[in-house]
Amino acid sequence: MNVDKNLEKEVLTRLLHAHPTGLGKEVLDNYRGEKEVASVLAFLQDRGFIKDGHVTTDDAGEYSLNLPIKLTASGVDEARKLEGDASQ
């Protein structure tokens, strides 16, 4: 899967700073569109960075989200790492 690294970083950062209960539909808000964000969420899920919410794909390739979306411990570590990279 080819993922936009800037969008991946943005989504991870938003999830990192989200309310402890996670993010709902607002996680999809981005000028690139909901499908692009959903594809990044699916990528993050495949890497084990998302818990308590998940992304599924139907036969037509359409994404469906089970909200809220929250990061796993490894997702938090990755988000913090990317945030640290940006500050340097």
> Domains, the chain, ranges and CATH?
5-81 (1.10.10)
d(CA 64, CA 53): 11
HSE-CB for 65 with a 13 A CA cutoff: 22
Q: Which helix (H) or strand (E) holds 57?
A: strand 54-57
**Residue that wins the pLDDT comparison between 61 and 80:** 80
3-state secondary structure of 68: coil
pLDDT digits (tens, 9 = 90+) for 53-69: 788 888 998 899 999 99
Confidence of residue 70 (pLDDT cuts 50, 70, 90): very high
**Residue that wins the pLDDT comparison between 77 and 19:** 77
pTM greater than 0.85: yes
3-state secondary structure of 80: helix
Confidence of residue 19 (pLDDT cuts 50, 70, 90): confident
